[in-house]
Amino acid sequence: MKIVYKSLDEIRQMRESALVVAGILDEVCRAVEPGVSTWELDRIARAAIKRESVVSAFLGYAQPPYPAVTCISINEEIVHGIPRKDKIIRSGDLVSVDFGSFKHGMCADSARTVIAGTATPEGQKLVDTTRRSLDLAIAQCVVDNRLEDVGAAVQGCAEAEGYSVVRVFVGHGIGRRMHEDPPVHNYGTPGRGKRIKRGLVIAVEPMVNAGSPEVEVLDDGWTAVTKDRSLSAHFEHTIAITDEGPWVLTRPSSSPGNPGHD
């Protein structure tokens, strides 16, 4: 595992990229409502990418090449849902929007789950728990803690509510590439794992299922769903480790040592 630690200047460049990501994600999430297709949401993001003169982190990624600039996953879809014209959002749907882009050659990545129309109690509780698990994980992103402290925070929060965490997909280091070392799991044992140091930048992304943690990938080669078709929620922020504490780069209200709030 070779971790690329970032200088303060590099982190500031990542902050610029991250603020663009946060703004575009805001724009897409505001458009989530019953009757809208996931393809239309992706179109909004494409227009914003052009307006902001940034480069999509997702389009053409990996094999088979990812065909969109957003991943939009609904209900039992965990991550990597491909936007489609015939995928129409309904009231009560859990809509997870994942977006990343490059600016100044530096990547930022963020995701959130929003509920279209009228939320069900089941859906609202899952979304609230997943968001809270990310906040608890961020609080562990301090110098001299361990990486498994971060995952343990997610796991403890989710499992206390009777939920499970996805294990086959993880968070990651981030910088000049979208996926760098180290992997950041959503489970762990406190006090174990690699020590967290100043200059580490990671994307922490809880994926929490209402049922089993088991995953199935659909025939499109990308869309990951819960094997038991239970609901899933997903939140993600890009976080820099500073001597003052975590700086949540994709959260506009955050500053070094002040995680801020969404």
Residues 6+ apart with CB under 8 A from 219: none
Among 203, 215, 222, 225, residue whose Cα is nearest residue 66: 222
Give the three-state DSSP class for 115.
strand
Residue 213 lies in a domain: yes
Percentage above 90 pLDDT, the chain: 100
Q: Which domain holds residue 143?
A: 8-248
Q: What is the pLDDT of residue 134?
A: 98
How many C-alpha atoms does 85 have within 13 Å on its Cβ side?
0
Q: What is the pLDDT of residue 259?
A: 96
CATH, residue 181 = 3.90.230.10
pLDDT one-digit tens code per residue, 81-137: 999 999 999 999 999 999 999 999 999 999 999 999 999 999 999 999 999 999 999
pLDDT one-digit tens code per residue, 165-175: 999 999 999 99
Residue 117 lies in a domain: yes
Residue 211 lies in a domain: yes
| pLDDT (average), residues 1-10 | 94
| pLDDT (average), residues 7-31 | 98
Q: What is the pLDDT of residue 32?
A: 98
Nearest-Å Rg of the Cα atoms of the chain is: 17
Residue 258 lies in a domain: no
Residue 2 lies in a domain: no
Angle between helical axes of 121-139 and 147-160 (0-180°, round to 10): 160
Residue 260 lies in a domain: no
Total domains in the fold of the chain: 1
Whether residue 1 has pLDDT greater than 90: no
Phi-psi region of 239 (alpha: psi -120 to 50; beta: other; left: phi over 0): beta
Q: What is the pLDDT of residue 155?
A: 98
- pTM value is 0.97
Residue 125 lies in a domain: yes
Residue 185 lies in a domain: yes
Contact 26, 69 (CB under 8 A): no
pLDDT one-digit tens code per residue, 34-84: 999 999 999 999 999 999 999 999 999 999 999 999 999 999 999 999 999
pLDDT one-digit tens code per residue, 128-176: 999 999 999 999 999 999 999 999 999 999 999 999 999 999 999 999 9
Residues 6+ apart with CB under 8 A from 129: 157, 158, 161, 163, 208, 233
* Gap between the Cα atoms of 130 and 62, Å rounded: 27
